[in-house]
Amino acid sequence: MDQLVTLNRRELLKTTSGLLTGCIVAGSPLALIAPGREWAVDLTALTSSEGAALVSMARTIAPHDKLDDAAYALVIQAVDGDAGKDANTRKLVKEGLAALGADFAGSPESERVEALKKIESSAFFQTMRLKTLQVLYSNSIAYAYFGYEGEAFSKGGYLFRGFNDLRWLPEVPAEDSGPLPTGA
């Protein structure tokens, strides 16, 4: 749940340049694990409107309608972090967003897809695509949404937690399988 803690620990830095905020939908998988309903991410290199445009871009690259904005905000937080550390990345992102235009974030998905297809081979798009895939699926919000249970060593593996609980197909004969340890 590290990322959720990060989301809610606003560091009021003097350099804060923008802000992303959201409210977790009650009853969503995220609501069960989140420490609070409201979240906020400070941006240090990008403006609030640039942040919002990037959320829209990440949602176009990897559209999971019911996945909370908080997961996408983590992607933007990572991009913002890279942009803060590296002037080239900052330039790449700011210029890339400027080229997409101010209307991008508010336009319908079909238009956003068309706009991104036109820049598919650009360094800006490639960077955003990779970052989206790297961050969006590797946090506890995504784990909860996609049902992924993750690390298992601390819980004794999946041996006693459903590694063989599939019942909609026949069982494998003993000679092609192996003995279960007692209790599994």
Binding residues for other proteins, rule: CB under 8 A, are: 60-64, 113, 116, 129, 132-134, 137-138, 142-143, 146-153, 156-159, 161-166, 168-172, 175-181, 184
Structural tokens at position 141:
């919000």
Give me the least distance between CB of 166 and other proteins, in Å please: 4
Give me the least distance between CB of 37 and other proteins, in Å please: 25
Contact call for residues 125 and 112 (beta carbons, < 8 A) = no
What is the DSSP-derived secondary structure letter of residue 173?
P
Give the residue among 123, 128, 141 at the shortest CA–CA distance from 50: 128
Give me the least distance between CB of 122 and other proteins, in Å please: 13
Give me the least distance between CB of 139 and other proteins, in Å please: 9
Give me the least distance between CB of 47 and other proteins, in Å please: 25
Kindly tell me the burial class for residue 62, based on how many C-beta atoms sit within 10 Å of its own C-beta (0-12, 13-18, 19 or more): middle
Shorter beta-carbon distance to other proteins: residue 31 or 119: 119
Listing DSSP states for 124-136 in one string gives HHHHHHHHHHHHH
Residues in the chain: 184
Shorter beta-carbon distance to other proteins: residue 27 or 181: 181
Shorter beta-carbon distance to other proteins: residue 12 or 169: 169
Exposure string over 9-38, b if 16+ CB within 10 A, otherwise e: eeeeeeeebbebebebeeebbbeeebeeee
Give me the least distance between CB of 165 and other proteins, in Å please: 7
Q: Which residues 6+ apart lie within 8 Å of 179 measured at CB? A: none
Shorter beta-carbon distance to other proteins: residue 18 or 76: 76
Shorter beta-carbon distance to other proteins: residue 11 or 165: 165
